[in-house]
């Protein structure tokens, strides 16, 4: 009984949080995204929808500065200068160095994992575009910003 109540609570929270994300599904807006400016790179950061992760929003950093929230079942993007960048999660161990190419789109997936020595951790991984686009089908693209929900 206790487990059923916890599951219902998580699902209810998911419904509430989904109202916070707004946005449109990637597959519906992909063709309408702004054209990538000359000399820039586009980075998509996303999380697939996994119910247990609803309780764990994260703030993504690029070179130590806020990129935006990573909420389960959402994606966001920014156009940035090409070159070497370090992506990380605020208050987490995982860091990822990425060499961004001009005129190219890079997809980064955020996943929460169980780390043997530190409990829960979050990893960032570059995902090939064909796999990422399959993951993104139906995931809402939201504005890349840090909301009050995540500190």
- pLDDT reading at 79 higher than 90: yes
- pLDDT reading at 126 higher than 80: yes
Domain coordinates in residue numbering, the chain: 2-141
Both tokens of 42, joined, read 């586009």
Percent of the chain with pLDDT over 70: 77
Q: How crowded is the C-beta side of 3, counted as CA atoms within 13 Å?
A: 0
- pLDDT reading at 57 higher than 90: no
- pLDDT reading at 50 higher than 70: no
- pLDDT reading at 66 higher than 50: yes
- pLDDT reading at 16 higher than 90: no
Say if CB 140 and CB 23 are below 8 A apart.
yes
Residue 56 main-chain phi, psi, to 5 deg: -130, 65
Say if CB 93 and CB 115 are below 8 A apart.
yes
How confident is the model at residue 61, as a pLDDT?
93
How confident is the model at residue 2, as a pLDDT?
61
18-28 pLDDT per residue, tens: 444 568 899 99
How confident is the model at residue 15, as a pLDDT?
44
How confident is the model at residue 76, as a pLDDT?
94
- Mean pLDDT in the chain? 82
């Amino acid at each position: 009984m206790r487990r059923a109540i916890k599951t219902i609570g998580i699902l209810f929270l998911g419904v509430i949080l989904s109202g916070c994300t707004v946005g449109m599904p990637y597959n519906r807006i992909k063709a309408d995204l702004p054209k990538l400016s000359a000399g820039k790179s586009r980075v998509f950061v996303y999380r697939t929808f996994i119910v247990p992760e609803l309780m764990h929003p994260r703030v993504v950093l690029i070179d130590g500065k806020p990129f935006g929230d990573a909420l389960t079942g959402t994606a966001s993007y920014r156009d940035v200068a090409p070159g070497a960048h370090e992506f990380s999660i605020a208050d987490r161990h995982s860091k990822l160095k990425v060499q961004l190419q001009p005129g190219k789109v890079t997809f980064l997936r955020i996943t929460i994992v169980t780390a043997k020595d530190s409990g829960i951790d979050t990893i960032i991984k570059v995902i090939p575009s064909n796999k990422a686009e399959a993951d993104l089908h139906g995931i809402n693209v939201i504005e890349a910003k840090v909301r009050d929900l995540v500190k």
